[in-house]
Amino acid sequence: MAQYSKVAPTPLLKDELDIVIPTIRNLDFLEMWRPFFQQYHLIIVQDGDPSKVIKVPEGFDYELYNRNDINRILGPKASCISFKDSACRCFGYMVSKKKYIFTIDDDCFVAKDPSGKDINALEQHIKNLLSPSTPFFFNTLYDPYREGADFVRGYPFSLREGIPTAVSHGLWLNIPDYDAPTQLVKPLERNTRFVDAVLTIPKGTLFPMCGMNLAFNRELIGPAMYFGLMGDGQPIGRYDDMWAGWCMKVICDHLGLGVKTGLPYIWHSKASNPFVNLKKEYKGIYWQEELIPFFQSATLPKDCTTVQGCYLELSKQVKAKLGKDDDYFIKLADAMVTWVEAWDELNPVGGKAVEANGVVAK
Ligand SMILES: O=c1ccn([C@@H]2O[C@H](COP(=O)(O)OP(=O)(O)O[C@H]3OC[C@H](O)[C@H](O)[C@H]3O)[C@@H](O)[C@H]2O)c(=O)[nH]1
Ligand SMILES: [Mn+2]
């Protein structure tokens, strides 16, 4: 009689991936994700009042950082980490020691596919990240590396190897990630359309990156995943992930790294207040008409061969070209430099660990 192993398979990248969650509330939402997340390490970035106690369900392996921790670990460089905005999540990317990151909002739940099966969003992101991207030539049958698909006739064989994938951008059923004006005009609109596809975003094309269901290869693109200066004391909010996505895509195109969007879906449960969102977003809605042409025309010199080098060059261009539009971009450009300095301090190339108390090992 064949013996079948009763031991559950080890989850993919179990010890190579951290799950980063920005939060201002108790993390009961993890109960629904337990079957998919429990074997992974969580990095919880607690925003807002550090004296508030965030309850984490039993059985999860996690580290939690509040504002006091961020200030203690980064000192004056903590100024680059946003306060009272989900942008604070990027601190989790910086302190992680793992190769991969998956970040998810605490109002995102397990969605079901059309067959009614629970979607393991983390597993799909990992598949996306572990298979190549094809940004140089569009494959009309979508992801050619997927089971049951391939490159179609006319696709150059010289391009079929693809390039490494740096970012996997997932989508949302129920509450779509609309901006405030769209939310106001269509308050009852829900996304019920499950599109069974993963696409590589072509080289030279920007896109609106949403941070609520996102994964990336931290070793390939981590230093570019800065979510900017948002929230408290800043003239703008809810453009954290957009800023990061535009900077990241310019750098990925320059370095030959791929970005995918599509599966997996999560179930986004909470529509935030459109009036509050409008107040946070309105400058971004106006500025983005300038910002997007800036990023579309941004070029990086050949001698920018590292993510940090590309990012610092981009920050110089932000200061020179956008700084004249608003002083905020001068502040943001400086914060981009601070972010890279802090990243390199916590992630020295020599690989020396940063002590648990945040002191960089000698
Ligand atoms: O001051 C804050 C507010 C919230 N958070 C945490 O961020 C996550 C997103 O918050 P929420 O779901 O309430 O807002 P949404 O409008 O749905 O967020 C979307 O738009 C803004 C961002 O781009 C975000 O990534 C999008 O998902 C959630 O985990 C809150 O607990 C916070 O840390 N600080
Ligand atoms: Mn939300």
Checking ipTM against 0.90, whether it exceeds it is yes
- How does residue 270 score in pLDDT terms, banded at 50, 70 and 90? confident
* 153 inside domain: yes
Q: What percent of the chain has pLDDT over 70?
A: 94
**198: CB partners within 8 A, 6+ apart:** 128, 142, 143, 146, 260, 261, 262, 263
Phi, psi of 169 (to 5 degrees): -105, 110
Select from 101, 212, 269, 276 the residue to mutate for testing ligand 1; criterion: most ligand atoms less than 8 Å from CB. 212
Confidence band, pLDDT 50/70/90 cuts, at residue 357: very low
Identify whether 61 is part of a domain: no
Is residue 203 a part of any domain in this protein? yes
In angstroms, the Cα distances linking 123 to 129, 165, 342 are: 10, 15, 30
Q: Which range of residues forms the domain containing residue 236?
A: 106-346
Q: Is residue 41 a part of any domain in this protein?
A: no
- The neighbour count for residue 59, using CB atoms within 10 Å, is 9
112 within some domain: yes
- Give distance in angstroms: CA of 244 to centre of ligand 1: 15
In a domain, 351, yes or no: no
Quote the ligand 1 centre to 134 CA distance (angstroms). Answer: 31
Instruction: Report the pLDDT averaged over residues 50-72.
Output: 98
Q: Evaluate whether residue 217 is within a structural domain.
A: yes
Strand pairing class (61-65; 198-200) = unpaired
Q: Does the Cβ of 69 fall within 6 Å of ligand 1? A: no
Q: For residue range 203-256, what is the model confidence (pLDDT) as tens digits?
A: 999 999 999 999 999 999 999 999 999 999 999 999 999 999 999 999 999 999
Confidence of residue 17 (pLDDT cuts 50, 70, 90): very high
Question: What one-character-per-residue DSSP string does 258-310 give?
Answer: EEEEEEEEEEE--PPPHHHHHHHHHHHHHHHHHHHHHHHH----TT--SHHHH
The mean pLDDT of 282-311, rounded to a whole number, is 97
298: CA distance to ligand 1 center in Å? 29
> Could you tell me the pLDDT band of residue 175, with boundaries at 50, 70 and 90?
very high
Count helices and strands in the chain by DSSP H and E runs: 10, 9
> From the CA of 239, which ligand is nearest?
1
Q: Which of 126, 156, 125 is nearest to 139 (CA)?
A: 156
Number of structural domains, the chain? Answer: 1
Model confidence band, residue 7 (pLDDT cutoffs 50, 70, 90): low
- Gap from CA of 189 to ligand 2 centroid (Å): 15
- Residue 3 pLDDT class (50, 70, 90 cuts): low
The mean pLDDT value for 271-298 works out to: 95
Predicted confidence at residue 2, as pLDDT, reads 62
CB 40 within 8 A of CB 11: yes
Residue among 93, 105, 279 whose CB has most ligand 1 atoms within 8 A, to mutate:
105
Task: Give the pLDDT band (50/70/90) at residue 358.
Answer: very low
Q: What is the pLDDT of residue 350?
A: 59
Predicted pLDDT of residue 356:
40
Q: Is the pLDDT of residue 31 over 90?
A: yes
Indicate the range of 2-16, 110-124, 167-181 predicted with least confidence: 2-16
pLDDT of residue 5: 61
Per the model's pLDDT, the better-predicted residue between 284 and 351 turns out to be 284
Q: In this structure, are strands 108-110 and 61-65 parallel, antiparallel, or unpaired?
A: unpaired
Q: Is residue 229, in this structure, part of any structural domain at all?
A: yes
What is the CB-side half-sphere exposure of residue 293 using CA atoms within 13 A? Answer: 6
